[in-house]
Amino acid sequence: MSDIEPSRQSSGWLTGVREAMPLLGGYIPVAVSFGLISTQAGFSTAETLAISALIYAGASQFLFVGMIASGSPLWLTVAMTLLINVRHVVYAPNIAPWLPQSRWWPWLMHGLTDQVFALAHSRLPQLPASRRVGWFFGAAMLAWLSWIAGSLLGAVAGEWLTSRWPLLGEVMPFALPALFLVLIVPRFTSRRWAAALVVTIAIALLCTLTGLTNIGIPLAAACGALCFYMIRLPETAGPTRGGRP
């Protein structure tokens, strides 16, 4: 039995690495963009890597370097960075039921990004408890290291890459929206999720068109969450997780 358990844990993190690999198609281009923008804003390569390793939040990092470069007060920069990341208060409770007891979770939660959350929310319930810590470690570590590596590439060679391949500069900004689109499309199989997503997208688009870009993301997210929890629509036919409706 003692020989089987380490084998299960090992296969767990290898499975996590393998299943997180498709995320790299969105992570690396956006990280390269951040590395390039960060150095253009006056940050050194070491500072860029520290931001990616410690803050590790795509939208917040772009906001952070932009506000610092424009001379915004430090307290306001920190407050806005935390405001964008407040969505993690919702993420953690949604995957908590699938997390077995382990002293490693407080450290591993640094790797809970939007994409890792979406993947974990779907995969953790399908895995035996003995493999969940390993799976999450593999998936989160691959995503984190790829983000840091992409930031390094952008900081060191971003300008050379975009000057040599101008189309790359046009494609990179779309990588993150495309990645989010891939993650949410499977949720449209549920009427309840579809209603919440449509409300969220509509409000975000309306805020963008009316110039309310700063409040658009938190307002759209709040309205989408309210729609999900307040409006009860019948789900599509099919098996349910754990026998729950």
Per-residue pLDDT tens digits for 49-107: 999 999 998 878 888 888 888 888 888 888 888 877 877 777 878 888 888 888 888 88
Digit-coded pLDDT (tens) for 146-155: 999 999 998 9
Nearest-angstrom CA–CA distance, 20 and 138: 8
Q: What is the DSSP letter of 234?
A: P
Digit-coded pLDDT (tens) for 16-43: 899 889 888 778 888 888 898 888 888 9
Residue 48 has pLDDT above 90, yes or no: yes
CB 215 within 8 A of CB 207: yes
Question: Mean of the pLDDT values across residues 175-180?
Answer: 68
**CA angle, residues 131, 112, 148, in degrees to nearest 5:** 105
Amino acid (1-letter code) at residue 45: T
> What tokens were used for 144?
């984190």
Nearest-angstrom CA–CA distance, 180 and 115: 8
Query: Which stretches of the chain are assigned E, i.e. beta strand?
Result: none
Nearest-angstrom CA–CA distance, 195 and 217: 17
